[in-house]
A and B are shown apart, each in its own frame.
Chain A
Amino acid sequence: MRIGFTLNGGEVAVDALPMARLLDVLREDLRVTGTKEGCGEGECGACTVLIDGRAVNACLVPVVQVQGAAVTTVEGLAAPEGRLHPVQAAFLTHGGAQCGICTPGFLVAAAELLAHTPRPTRPQVREALAGNLCRCTGYQKIVDAVVEALATEAGA
């Protein structure tokens, strides 16, 4: 089946089985590999992408569901000219990424939070990121980074 959608601002079309996982279509058909697989069953959040601005686990989404939708992956967070999204910049300065395998998912989830919640508290940040697992950081620096990114954004 022919499936068309917007990926990080550009139109794409692929031939795929309707029930193919969006994660596989992104990684294997489109070779956009920033989105990671940590579990394949909706538990780790490494595969988090935005569909029309909402964070979802791409390992649980059949590609047919994104027909005509706008999909954003980690590759689409920075501005087209390359300026990092505030949360990406804050991850760099605060040490939010260590091994980095969870990072794309956290960044996408944080970007969603940033878009919908102007001034979340630290507990709210933790709540928003509770669907993403990180084994390296203990989350402290991830929460720091998101809080700082939101402060920057609010001030900008």
Chain B
Amino acid sequence: MLIGQDLIRADGPAKVTGQARYVDDVRPDGCLYGFTVRSPWAHARIDGIELDPDFDWTDITVCTAADIPGENVVALMTDDQPVLADGVVRHVAEPVALVAGPDRDRALAASHHVRVAYTPLTPLMDPEVSAGNAHRIFRDDNVYSRITVEHGEAERVLAETDTVITGTYRVGLQEQLYIEPQGMMAIPRADGGVTLFGSMQCPYYIVKALKRVLGHDDLNVVQAVTGGGFGGKEEYPSIVAAHAAVLALKAGRPVKLIYRRDDDLRATTKRHPAIMHYRVAVDRATGKLQAAHVKLLFDGGAYNTLSPVVNSRAVLHALGPYACPHVKVEGLMVATNTPPNGAFRGFGAPQVMFAAERHMDRIARELGRSPLELRRLNLYQDGDVTPSGQRLVDVGATQVLELALKEAEAGLPASGVPDRAGGGGAAARVAPGRGVAIAWHGCGFTGNGEAALKGQADVAIEGDRVVIYTASTDIGQGTDTIFPAIVAEVLGISVDRVANADHDTATVPDSGPTVASRTAMVVGGVVKQAAEKLLAALQAEVGAEGAFDDLLAQRKSAAPLRVRAQYRDDLGLVWDPATYRGDAYPTYGWACVIVDVDVDLDTGEVLYRRLVSATDVGKALNPVLCTGQLEGGALQGLGYATCEEVVLDDQGGMRNNRLTNYIIPTALDAPEMVTALVEIPFSGGPFGAKGIGEIPHDVPAAAVAQAIEAACGAVLDRLPMTPERVLAALQES
């Protein structure tokens, strides 16, 4: 059995020896280096673009909107975003022009000599006044998405119940901070086409976008080894690719566009900030939730990107893993003149999960019950119905909670408090505290998304090897290791004989994007089907049954044998996107986090001791890869909780756009982690696997907030919980 074993990752040897080739490690002959000229204004008219006559432009290629061969549009959900601003800029750091030169320094120098004349206009920066504002950014009302999910009669029950608890929760922007910045190379081919090679999650997004930009489809997209994505390389690389391609076609040479860190931080998408209002009716005697009305407001920034889908996921997850008979959730996603926000691990869920869990703490406080007891009373059980009307089966909520509690008690020192991960004794005045939070996360696309997309995968016999063709990229999470294990398991052969073809759109089918915790669970299932189909095809060809290798030996033809499988909708999900009623997700993951912190009472700093998590993963296909993702996601969640703050200037530009001042946790800041797994198999996933990529990010922030409150009484309802905010809350408590 290969499934469930810690197979060493396929790309591991290359990665530990420095042989793995990321986009910036590759340099074709004659390659030029690009740089992007960006708007300094949140909103302005472009009056003209001129080249400084005193600068030597002989070896420099410059492109503006006029140089785009096809349409000036980044094709995604709507066609609102231009590849290069034309006449007007709508956010700071918006791309206005492109330059390419023989080396990075020349390109950078040239960028300073592109003179753009602007007339600044008054921007709209406040999402709370955006919807319907006379200042139009998007269509006629600035609304990217408005979704209501309703079950029962929330308003009536809220009006009739004595105990109604209200609260408002706010979260800020968060940067994905993949350690490899955005990067793409465009290589004009001798046959007139163009190849894009770079750092990305979704090769076919780039194909779709570039067809429009180039005005033809003679292009292929190849994923380079990619240094992290977390959603940040879902849709944004289409822009980088379009820029590189436009430059390369004009220059007639390969062009490499690698973002500098400061540029990446200022320009690229981030997690959507949100303001979230909760009103929940509770039965004082039983502690049971009776009704809830939730209003969510998200700032999408100046272009739509994928914001409607973020709103959708947020609305569907807004109540957390708790049963409530009457629910109304309204989500609103609006435009402002700030850099567009986009995909980031969790996709709206981390925001609402913080609010939902904080609101449970508030209810517990007002009812005088323990937060843990209140959760136990209300956690989803089998047969409960979600706000969209989905009847839940195989609910793991209680199991992850009880397992995490058990793990958290194991191996504690006599003090009852785990040691600091980074060592060191207690500072003069610290207070220890523990917090517990629980989350659910819908795995895969919402509703009938998979049935509509019909993701494909091929598996082929090539000589004595088997090759897998998918567009599902490995961005560190281990796809290129998991898929071969699935195929080898089905065929009964050694995993060394199964390889992944390059993720090159010239040869791989469209498996759908590498997003939404869907790769192992959904595409892995399609790969498994393809392997089963291959075995059947081989049996048919040789006219016999038996083991794969015996059949292979009987094969007369040496030609490759390749089969294709496509997503099959066996689950019978019923979903109505017009009403948001029905089976919102094929299945749900469940996770609990217990975190031990020290709050420094003098500085307000929060230090982490230990993080225990228990997660229902369906089936851990490769436990090391699985727990590794869970741990990485948990630490991103801790960063979201306390240290990651995007500070904006008056134009909406990121002021702390460097790693010296946008702080992510180091090995010293991170706690020791205990990562426990629950495996409640999902019938629709390969070998029972569920999606796990996003759920670890959903939980920690709320657990930390509760731990701070337990430690020192400070109540924080806003992320990040910086030392200043902790101190201020401490003074109020």
- Residues on A lying within 8 angstroms of B by beta carbon are 27-28, 31-41, 43-44, 46, 73-75, 77-78, 84, 88, 91-104, 107, 121-127, 129-143
> Do the beta carbons of B180 and A38 come within 8 Å of each other?
yes
Per-residue 0/1 for B166-200: is the Cβ within 8 Å of any A Cβ (1 yes, 0 no)? 00000000001111110000000000000000000
Whole-angstrom distance between the alpha carbons of A139 and B667 in the complex?
6
Nearest-CB residue, chain A, relative to B17: A78
Contacts of A125 in B (CB 8 A): 667
Selected contact of A74 from candidates B17, B177, B261, CB within 8 Å: B17
> Do the beta carbons of A101 and B180 come within 8 Å of each other?
yes
Whole-angstrom distance between the alpha carbons of A123 and B634 in the complex?
19
Stretch at the interface among B417-425, B535-543, B573-581: B417-425
> Do the beta carbons of B668 and A127 come within 8 Å of each other?
yes
Nearest-CB residue, chain A, relative to B611: A138
Output the residue of B8, B176, B225, B424 with the most chain A CB within 10 A.
Answer: B8
> Do the beta carbons of A138 and B16 come within 8 Å of each other?
no
Nearest-CB residue, chain B, relative to A137: B632
Per-residue 0/1 for B628-672: is the Cβ within 8 Å of any A Cβ (1 yes, 0 no)? 110111111000000000000000000000111000101110101
Nearest-CB residue, chain A, relative to B12: A92
Whole-angstrom distance between the alpha carbons of A31 and B31 in the complex?
14
Whole-angstrom distance between the alpha carbons of A124 and B420 in the complex?
12
> Do the beta carbons of B18 and A35 come within 8 Å of each other?
yes
B24 interface hit (Cβ, 8 Å): yes
State the interface size on chain B (CB cutoff 8 A).
63
B477 interface hit (Cβ, 8 Å): yes
Whole-angstrom distance between the alpha carbons of A64 and B584 in the complex?
61
A24 to chain B, nearest CB (A): 9
Selected contact of A138 from candidates B27, B176, B673, CB within 8 Å: B673
Segment 578-621 of B: residues with Cβ below 8 Å from A: none
B217 to chain A, nearest CB (A): 30
Selected contact of A104 from candidates B18, B229, B635, CB within 8 Å: B18
When A36-B180, A39-B261, A138-B634 are in contact, do A103 and B624 touch as well, CB less than 8 Å?
Answer: no
> Do the beta carbons of A97 and B15 come within 8 Å of each other?
yes
Contacts of A138 in B (CB 8 A): 628, 631-635, 670, 673
> Do the beta carbons of A38 and B422 come within 8 Å of each other?
no
Selected contact of A141 from candidates B180, B631, B636, CB within 8 Å: B631
Selected contact of B227 from candidates A31, A100, A123, CB within 8 Å: A100
Whole-angstrom distance between the alpha carbons of A93 and B226 in the complex?
21
Selected contact of B15 from candidates A33, A103, A124, A127, CB within 8 Å: A103
Whole-angstrom distance between the alpha carbons of A84 and B19 in the complex?
13
What are 5 A-B contacts defined by CB distance under 8 Å? A43-B660, A74-B17, A88-B16, A99-B475, A122-B421
Q: Which 9 A-B pairs have the closest CB atoms?
A: A34-B18, A123-B423, A99-B476, A101-B227, A100-B15, A138-B631, A43-B659, A98-B476, A138-B635
A-B pairs under 8 A by CB, number = 187
Whole-angstrom distance between the alpha carbons of A73 and B6 in the complex?
28
Whole-angstrom distance between the alpha carbons of A75 and B625 in the complex?
25
> Do the beta carbons of B19 and A139 come within 8 Å of each other?
no
Interface SS, B side: loop
Nearest-CB residue, chain B, relative to A38: B179
Contacts of A129 in B (CB 8 A): 666-667
Per-residue 0/1 for B471-484: is the Cβ within 8 Å of any A Cβ (1 yes, 0 no)? 00001111000000
When A93-B8, A132-B667 are in contact, do A139 and B179 touch as well, CB less than 8 Å?
Answer: no
Beyond A77-B17, A92-B8, A138-B628, 14 additional pairs, beta carbon < 8 A: A27-B25, A36-B227, A99-B475, A101-B22, A101-B228, A126-B667, A127-B422, A127-B423, A130-B668, A132-B667, A136-B228, A138-B673, A141-B627, A141-B628
Output the residue of B15, B24, B180 with the most chain A CB within 10 A.
Answer: B15
A57 to chain B, nearest CB (A): 12
Per-residue 0/1 for B308-326: is the Cβ within 8 Å of any A Cβ (1 yes, 0 no)? 0000000000000000000
A89 to chain B, nearest CB (A): 8
Nearest-CB residue, chain A, relative to B628: A95
Nearest-CB residue, chain B, relative to A91: B16
Whole-angstrom distance between the alpha carbons of A29 and B134 in the complex?
55
When A43-B660, A91-B12 are in contact, do A99 and B180 touch as well, CB less than 8 Å?
Answer: yes
B9 interface hit (Cβ, 8 Å): yes
A23 to chain B, nearest CB (A): 11
Per-residue 0/1 for B2-37: is the Cβ within 8 Å of any A Cβ (1 yes, 0 no)? 000010110111111111111011010000000000
Contacts of B628 in A (CB 8 A): 95, 98, 136-138, 140-141
Whole-angstrom distance between the alpha carbons of A104 and B16 in the complex?
7
> Do the beta carbons of B658 and A123 come within 8 Å of each other?
no
Contacts of B424 in A (CB 8 A): 123
Whole-angstrom distance between the alpha carbons of A133 and B15 in the complex?
16
> Do the beta carbons of B24 and A37 come within 8 Å of each other?
yes
B230 interface hit (Cβ, 8 Å): yes
B555 interface hit (Cβ, 8 Å): no
Whole-angstrom distance between the alpha carbons of A134 and B635 in the complex?
10
B690 to chain A, nearest CB (A): 19
A125 to chain B, nearest CB (A): 8
When A41-B659, A100-B225 are in contact, do A133 and B666 touch as well, CB less than 8 Å?
Answer: yes
B163 interface hit (Cβ, 8 Å): no
> Do the beta carbons of B658 and A41 come within 8 Å of each other?
yes
Per-residue 0/1 for B410-431: is the Cβ within 8 Å of any A Cβ (1 yes, 0 no)? 0000000000111110000000
Output the residue of B225, B477, B631, B660 with the most chain A CB within 10 A.
Answer: B631
Segment 672-695 of B: residues with Cβ below 8 Å from A: 672-673, 675
B729 to chain A, nearest CB (A): 27
> Do the beta carbons of B672 and A133 come within 8 Å of each other?
no
Nearest-CB residue, chain B, relative to A104: B18
Selected contact of A121 from candidates B19, B423, B478, CB within 8 Å: B423
Output the residue of A103, A129, A135 with the most chain B CB within 10 A.
Answer: A135
B702 to chain A, nearest CB (A): 18
> Do the beta carbons of A98 and B478 come within 8 Å of each other?
yes
When A103-B16, A132-B667, A133-B666 are in contact, do A98 and B632 touch as well, CB less than 8 Å?
Answer: yes
Output the residue of A28, A101, A127, A133 with the most chain B CB within 10 A.
Answer: A101
A121 to chain B, nearest CB (A): 7
> Do the beta carbons of A41 and B16 come within 8 Å of each other?
no
Contacts of A44 in B (CB 8 A): 179, 659
> Do the beta carbons of A97 and B12 come within 8 Å of each other?
yes
